[in-house]
């Protein structure tokens, strides 16, 4: 069940690049893996999916922290009958049985929340048991866990290492940034507990990356933030821009970042990334480089032509087309009542996929459309804009980075194929 590594290796000028065909949590390469996640679905002529990707919410929005900016905590209102949401054994079994049967080449499960470790280690032992039971010969099954790191201890770290999980840990930078918004239910700080969890991951050589939510505080210090992460030995990074709507004013919530701030941040961190290339993996940049090199659309969903590159499965088996659209309007159905096959073919899902293509028509004439494809629809719809909230950020960044991406592309193309 260990993740398979496949891809094209390139070597030049004293360093190597590895082009993985897919997401490779087990990779122990000392150099960054490009092509981090080509999780789009390849539909074969006879209509079977070769690689499905799921974001699973085994505890729904339940969490042991209460971060100010969390967009998922309010989803608890969708399931008010109980305060404690846990995926049952029946739902888990059905999910793994159906998805493995439907996607013979591989399946990717990203366990997230809320805080997915609240499901308990025994739940994930069941996950592995069912993956072994239902997995097909030669099928690649990948597991990743997106966690706040608080509950990670020796037992968890050993299990994650033994079973090849890739872990994403949320850390917003140094203590003063991290503790500002990432607090416990009584306002208690979380930084020290997260760092303790990370030490356990390191102790057991678990592959992990750091997920940084860019908010109104840390976004102003791109160089300091980047250096803090890299100096702490974190070389696999993902920066996620935070923008939420204040329901009272209809304007961006106070912790949101502005398009100007995000544009400036991307440019500043790009300079750092280039300096460190290829030692540090920054997901947005590495994925864009791959798009330059391959001439294909990037694999990050927000830069893809269409939405619908994964499904979200809630604790009770409800299925939605996107993490940001877990709402009644976009409920596709429930796996205990309908097959995944049916849900994927449903008119609602197809409509969801098409929405982005429709929005991006407004971007006609933009020189960066081939890279951006209009960005994430949520960033259009949240404030009822006729453009993407981050459009200016993207344009600033694409203009700033283009020549250097071309240089990197030439460098990569000039390398010797292994």
Active site members: 323
Site membership for ligand SF4, residue 245 (CB under 6 A): no
- Please state whether beta strands 333-334 and 318-320 pair in parallel, antiparallel, or not at all (unpaired): antiparallel
- What share of residues in the chain are helix, strand, coil (percent, to 5)? 40, 15, 40
Token readout for 240 is 């996620």
One of 32, 252, 333, 377 touching ligand SF4 (CB under 6 A): 377
C-beta of 240: minimal distance to ligand SF4 in Å? 10
C-beta of 380: minimal distance to ligand SF4 in Å? 8
Say if residues 95 and 54 touch (Cβ distance below 8 Å): yes
Site membership for ligand SF4, residue 344 (CB under 6 A): no
Residue 335 vs 360, nearer CB to ligand SF4: 360
Token readout for 311 is 């499904």
Cα distances from 355 to residues 106, 259, 373, in angstroms, run: 27, 23, 12
Find the part of the chain contacting ligand SF4 (CB under 6 A) among 3-11, 193-201, 338-346, 376-384.
376-384
Separation CA 244–CA 69 (nearest Å): 8
Separation CA 91–CA 46 (nearest Å): 28
Find the part of the chain contacting ligand SF4 (CB under 6 A) among 30-38, 161-169, 364-372, 410-418.
364-372
User: Which 309-328 residues touch ligand SF4, going by CB under 6 A?
Assistant: 322, 324
One of 170, 218, 299, 388 touching ligand SF4 (CB under 6 A): 388
C-beta of 263: minimal distance to ligand SF4 in Å? 11
Say if residues 313 and 97 touch (Cβ distance below 8 Å): no
Separation CA 122–CA 105 (nearest Å): 27
Residue 92 vs 291, nearer CB to ligand SF4: 291
One of 118, 243, 311, 366 touching ligand SF4 (CB under 6 A): 366
Residue 70 vs 322, nearer CB to ligand SF4: 322
Say if residues 309 and 40 touch (Cβ distance below 8 Å): yes
Residue 240's closest CA among 284, 273, 274? Answer: 284
Binding site for ligand SF4 (CB under 6 A): 301-302, 307, 322, 324, 356, 363, 366, 368-369, 372, 374-378, 388, 391, 394-395
């Amino acid at each position: 069940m260990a993740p398979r590594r496949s891809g094209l290796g390139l070597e030049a000028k004293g360093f190597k690049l590895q082009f993985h065909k897919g997401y490779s949590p087990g990779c122990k390469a000392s150099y960054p893996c490009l092509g981090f996640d080509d999780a789009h679905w390849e539909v074969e002529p006879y209509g079977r999916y070769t690689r499905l990707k799921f974001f699973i919410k085994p505890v729904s929005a339940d969490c042991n922290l209460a971060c100010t900016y969390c967009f998922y905590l309010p989803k608890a209102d969708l399931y008010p009958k109980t305060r404690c949401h846990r995926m049952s054994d029946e739902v888990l079994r059905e999910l793994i049985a159906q998805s493995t049967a439907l996607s013979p080449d591989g399946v990717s499960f990203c366990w997230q929340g809320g805080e997915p470790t609240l499901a308990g280690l025994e739940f994930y032992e069941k996950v592995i048991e069912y993956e072994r039971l239902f997995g097909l010969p030669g099928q690649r099954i990948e597991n990743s866990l997106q966690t706040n790191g608080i509950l990670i201890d020796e037992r968890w770290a050993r299990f994650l290492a033994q079973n090849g999980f890739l872990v994403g840990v949320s850390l917003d930078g140094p203590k003063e940034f991290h503790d500002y918004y990432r607090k416990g239910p009584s306002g208690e700080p979380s930084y020290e507990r997260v760092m303790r969890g990370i030490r356990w991951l390191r102790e057991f050589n678990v592959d992990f990356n750091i997920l940084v939510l860019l908010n109104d505080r840390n976004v102003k210090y791109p160089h300091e933030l980047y250096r803090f992460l890299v100096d702490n030995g974190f070389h696999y990074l993902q920066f996620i821009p935070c923008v939420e709507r204040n329901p009272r004013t209809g304007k961006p919530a106070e912790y949101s970042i502005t398009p100007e701030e995000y544009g400036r941040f991307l440019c500043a961190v790009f300079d750092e990334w280039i300096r460190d290339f290829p030692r540090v993996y920054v997901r947005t940049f590495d994925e864009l480089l791959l798009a330059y090199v391959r001439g294909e659309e990037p694999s990050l969903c927000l830069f893809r032509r269409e939405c619908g590159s994964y499904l979200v499965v809630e604790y009770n088996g409800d299925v939605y087309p996107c993490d940001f659209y877990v709402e009644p309007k976009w409920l596709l159905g429930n796996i205990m009542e309908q097959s995944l096959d049916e849900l994927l073919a449903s008119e609602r899902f197809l409509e969801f996929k098409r929405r982005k293509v429709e929005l991006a028509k407004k971007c006609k004439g933009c020189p960066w459309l081939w890279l951006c494809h209009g960005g994430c629809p949520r960033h259009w719809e949240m404030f009822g804009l006729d453009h993407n909230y981050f459009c200016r950020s993207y344009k600033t960044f694409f203009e700033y980075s283009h020549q250097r991406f071309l240089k990197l592309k030439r460098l990569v193309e000039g390398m010797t194929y292994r």
